[in-house]
Every structure is written in C-alpha cells, then in structure tokens.
Chains A and B, each alone.
Chain A
Amino acid sequence: MDTDNKDNPNPTILNASDLPTRQRDAHAAKRPSLFDALTQDAYPNYATTDLSSPEASDDSDSESDPREEIDEQEIYDLISTISDPEHPTSLASLAVVNLPDIFITRPASSTSRLSTVTVLLTPTTAHCSLGTVIGLAVRVRLEQALPPRFRIDVQLKEGTHTTADAVNKQLADKERVAAAMENGTLVGVIRNMLATCE
C-alpha cells in the first residue's frame, strides 16, 4: 500500500514479546468455520453455535464450566492479533487494543445471566478514518468467539478521537452492525483483518 495515503504512515509499533499474553495450549486449534461464516450469505448463525457442538466451544477449556471465568486477558488474546486494516501489524502492537482498557462486568443479579465485555480502543491518530472498521472487526471477532451470554460494547476511548461519539454510536447499534456484515466489501476487509487471529 502507498504509505502516502495512509492515515498514519509511521505508527509506533510495539514489540510482540512485550505484549501481555497467556501461554496457550496447543489444542486451541484454528477453527476454519469462523472465517467461513464471514460471507454475505451466512450471517452469524447463533442456533448452530450451540455450546454442545465441538466447533463452537471456546478456545481454551473455559467453557467446560459455563460460569468459569472468561477474563480480560482472554478477551485481549482474542483480539490482540487482529490486523490493522492499513499496516501489516496487529492491533496490539499498534496499541490500539490494550489490556487495561478491557473490562468485564459479571451478571448484575443472581437471576441475570448476562456478562458485559467492554473494550476501549485507541486509534493510532485522532483523525483515523478507520476507527469504525477497526471497531467493527473487534466486535465481530468477539461476537463470533464468545458465548451469547456476553453483551459486547466496543468503543473508542474517550478523548482519543475527534468523532468518537459518532463512531461509538454506530458500533453500539446492532442493526447497523448486522447490515454492515451483509455488505460484501466490508466483510472482505474484516475477514482479512481477522485472518491473523489464532
């Protein structure tokens, strides 16, 4: 890609070995179905991402007990390897995704079964035009990887972007996200970004 056209031709890139991660077991196998699902014809199919089906079970064994912790590190590991749409680097290396900016809220009451994952993203520049795409990729990745009891809130971190409110409102709109994922071009971009995920 022509560096002159990029938003931020010279981003600061962190060393991968400096990034927080958890040792992953070898059996956290790549799941081809994840990427196949990102086509215009196959919208995320919740009925088949049944917890009992082997394909859909979570990366590590955290879902053997449904209540066992999926913690912030787990979320980070899911999204840290997403590629930036412009640079051949991961969102973690670009410090777009940061562990301290990930929060999990457990179910509010004994009857509620919903947990909320909040991810605050820091775009590389305050005017980054790809904030929505990056946010969408993170959201899609989490929607595909996490069990449906998680509600997902992806936002640009306050003060990091000139149009953060507008971007955040789009990312929070389920209908908009659903329609975006039926757009072939956008799906292609997202698919490329998620291709580097484990």
Chain B
Amino acid sequence: MPSILPLCTLTPPSASRLWSSHPHPTLPLIATASSDKTVRLYSLASLDLESTITGGHKRSIRSCAWKPSSGVKSGESVLATGSFDASCGVWRRWEQGTGIGKLAKGLEKGKGTEWEGLGAEGEPEEDERDFTRGLAGGAEEEDEDEDEWRFAVILDGHDSEIKSLAFSPTAPLLATCSRDKSVWIWEELEDDNFETVAVLQEHDGDVKCVAWSPVEELLVSGSYDNAIRVWREDVDDWACCGLLEGHSGTVWWVEFEGADRFGKVGAGASDSLSAEQQILLEQRKAAGPRIISCSDDLTIRIWRRVPKEIKEQPTGQGKMPSIWKNRDFEEEWVQECVLPKAHERAVYAVSWSRKTGRVVSTGSDGKVVVYEERWKGGRNGEGDSAMADASAVSGRVEGRKDEATGSSTEWMVVAEVENAHDVFEVNHVVWAPRADKGKIGEDEEVIVTTGDDGEVKVWLLNDD
C-alpha cells in the first residue's frame, strides 16, 4: 500500500506565502513564486536555496513558467514570471558548463552588431538595470556574472493581476492569463521581442490557469466562471474551439496529460491486455492527451476529446463553404470521469505525472492525495488483493460512466497525507524528477508542495 512520506523542507523557507512551484525542464532546480515579490530557486539536488530573482515586480509573484528548451544543452535557462502587478517578466541565465554559454556571453558583452534591436540607443537594456545588486560588472567579474539571473523584458498588457502563464513546448509561444478575464498569447521573436498575437476574451470571469498541449498548438484555460476553454488557431486567428462545462465552482488548475502517457494505463505493460482494452488505448491515442482540472467544487475531473470522423470534401464548387470550416475548427470535449472525492475544501492544484500517469492533488484542506488509473477487474498486474486493500483503506472507488463509451478503467486514491503543511493551506503541488542523493532509479519522482507557511516540502511516494 503506497504512502506519502516527507523527505524534507527546502531551506531556508520563505517568510511569506508561496503560491506555486515549477520544476526546471532539465536541471534539478525548482522555481517558487512568492508573495514577497521574489522568485526563490531551490536545488533539488542539494535541497537548498540556489538563487533568487528580485526587483522585477511590484507585487506578489503568482506563477512562473520555464521555457521548455531551458538547460545546459541550449546554454540558457529562460524563466517567465507572472505577477499581481499585471505584468510578466522574462529572465535569462547562462547555464554553466557549456561552451555555448560562455561564447554567447562574450558576444553580449562586446555589444556587437549581431545584437540589434536591444534598445533605443543600441545598448543592451540589461546594462541600464542592475538586477544583480551590483555583483555583475566589468570583465573581471565575468565568471560570477554568469550565474546571475538577467532581466530580459517586461510584458505589459493585462489590466489586472496575472494568475498563470505557460510556454508552449511545440511553438515559440507564451500564454498569460489574468483577472481581467482574458488570455493573451505572445509569440517570441528574436532578442527578447515578444509580440502579442492574440487577446482572447471569452471567459466571464478571472482566468486562473493556462496550459499547453504537449503534442499540438492547443491551449486550455480554467476560469472563475467555472468553465474550461480550449483554444487554437483558426487559419490566422486564435479562437475558442471548445467549451468544457461541468464544474460548479472556480476552476483553479488545468493540465494536459503527458506526451508519453496518453494511450497508456498504469504501468503501461500492454501485452496482457484484452481486445477491448487495446481498443480503448487506441481510441485514446487517436483522441490525444486528455485534460485534467480541479476546482472549488471539491472535484477533479478528466476530459477527453471526441475525435472527428474524417469528412469528405463536398463536391461541386471545390471551395469549402464557411460553415464547414467552422465545424472543422470546433472540437468536442466530454467529461470522462470525476476522480474519487478526497478533499474537503477547494482543490487548488493537480499535477499529472509525465512518467507514471499518477495524479497528485492538494488544496485548502492541507491534504496531498495521489490517485492512479487502473483497469477495472485488477488486470494491472498487481493482483486483486492489492486493489481490495486500496479500496478498503481509502473506501473510495469510482468509475463513473459518462458520455460515449462506458469506461473500463477507474481512478483510485492510492495514498494521502493530511496536514502536509501543518495547519496551513497548500497552494500548489507538482511532480518533479528526483535529484537528491537518495535517488535510486532514473525515473524516480518526488512530490513538491508549496504553502501559506512559506515552505517548500518534498515528499516521496513510497510504493511498498
């Protein structure tokens, strides 16, 4: 019976509320957004504070997002910060150990003509703001300089607090969302130029969260208006292509299933599957990654897309009438299931593991809960007794049939812990690759939570 065990609290903690944490795509690093207007970056290897980003925002930082290409390979990490001051900051840092890093750094310092468009006078704008608190400077301090976060650009546009933001893994796009009910999409051009390509205003309330699909240019957003919307480009313009309704409270977090996960259930061993199970997996692969959402209404829901059948071209004029165009653009999403109820108060965040497909959730009640999807009938290779134990302890097994096909899988609570941050609310939870010295397996993961107590806690899911 799996259990959630505390590994440690990252030190030193913050003195103020931590809203969220965001693991670096490749390095053992996690960025935490703090209401003290800074970003605290902790190392998941040494489990302590590695660096801080300060000075860019006038109010709480609510959320951060890493550019997916960040890391040693590209030579640079790029972090975007979303703040209650309605702006989004973009920060860069050279990552050590690469020739690319040093080379590009040298180019920048030389202010060569390759770096055009940096500022009105052709000077790099970084020089005019000292965000390194005087540590950066002339050539003699070049080495220390390399570790520092550099402010790149501020993106203004939203009318009120930014709640969340995300970089697309498949295109040079950044999405931001705000209490002003809109979602903005920015395209990253060269040299820290971000161009607004869309301002999407279909939600009736604050937009709390945005997330990109891992396999296509599809964006999902969750809102104070209890709805979830999906967006994509219709020829030239971005527009809403789907509306997912069902929650009866604010949607706090939305996320897509991992690219390596959709089409799999549990450990993913597919040899012992029945024909019916194989068909379901194929359907899922065809439909694409599912969406998961959590809400004020205490539920966590999973939504799946209903793929369109291939339409035949209308004969005759050879030109598609616009009504067909619209129908092709819109997507149909249905609620697949509601996860077993485990929270007593608002669920603020869920995280869907890219490695195992397990889901972890947290919220105002201070609980951290892990769920797993299994085939009904215990064919996951773990035996019926394990499932019976799990149901006996958790007391909750649900496999709701919703629209379309009856489901042959079900979600179960596999572990939970209460009072994760003592009596404080836990604002966010996320899976991250394990990197500390206790790590055993290559794909081992930890759970990271951030709370109102200013602490970042790391947990292990013990599979025994």
Residues of A at under 8 Å CB distance from B?
A: 43, 45-48, 108, 111-114, 147-149, 151, 169, 172-176, 178-179, 182
Contact = CB atoms under 8 A, between A and B. Distances in A.
A17 B35 CA distance: 42
B60 A182 contact: yes
18 contacts: A43-B17, A45-B15, A46-B424, A46-B453, A47-B13, A112-B344, A114-B366, A147-B423, A148-B422, A149-B423, A151-B364, A173-B250, A174-B346, A174-B425, A175-B62, A176-B179, A176-B206, A179-B161
Given A43-B16, A114-B366, A178 B423 contact: no
A169 B346 CA distance: 12
B345 interface: yes
B424 A148 contact: yes
A102 to B, nearest CB: 19
A174 B160 CA distance: 16
B423 A114 contact: yes
Contacts of B344: 108, 112
B37 to A, nearest CB: 9
Nearest to A149: B423
Contacts of A112: 344, 365, 418-419
B35 A175 contact: no
A48 B35 contact: no
Contacts of A45: 15-16
How many of chain B's residues touch chain A, expressed as a range?
35 or more
- Secondary structure of the A contact surface, majority rule: loop
Interface string B127-168: 000000000000000000000000000000000110100000
Interface string B406-429: 000000000000110011110000
Contacts of A111: 418-419
B296 interface: yes
Interface of B: 13-17, 35-36, 59-60, 62, 84, 160-161, 163, 179, 206, 208, 224, 250, 296, 344-346, 364-366, 418-419, 422-425, 452-454
A122 B60 CA distance: 32
Contacts of A47: 13-16, 453-454
Nearest to A42: B16
Contacts of B346: 174
Contacts of B296: 172
B348 to A, nearest CB: 8
Nearest to A147: B423
Contact of B365 (A114, A172, A173, A174): A114
Contacts of A169: 224, 250
